[in-house]
Amino acid sequence: MINFMYTFIFSFTSSRSEFIHQAY
């Protein structure tokens, strides 16, 4: 379960990072 949570957070952070890079 913790692994799933970690993966979800990692995916969310990755998406957010991409979005920020696109914004700038």
Residue by residue, DSSP assigns 1-24 as -HHHHHHHHHHHHHHHHHHHHHH-
Please give the pLDDT value at position 7. 85
The tokens of 11 are what? 């995916």
Please give the pLDDT value at position 24. 61
**pLDDT, tens only, 1-24:** 778 888 888 888 877 777 666 666
Please give the pLDDT value at position 20. 65
Please give the pLDDT value at position 21. 66
Please give the pLDDT value at position 5. 83
Q: What is the pTM of this model?
A: 0.40
d(CA 22, CA 13): 14
d(CA 7, CA 24): 26
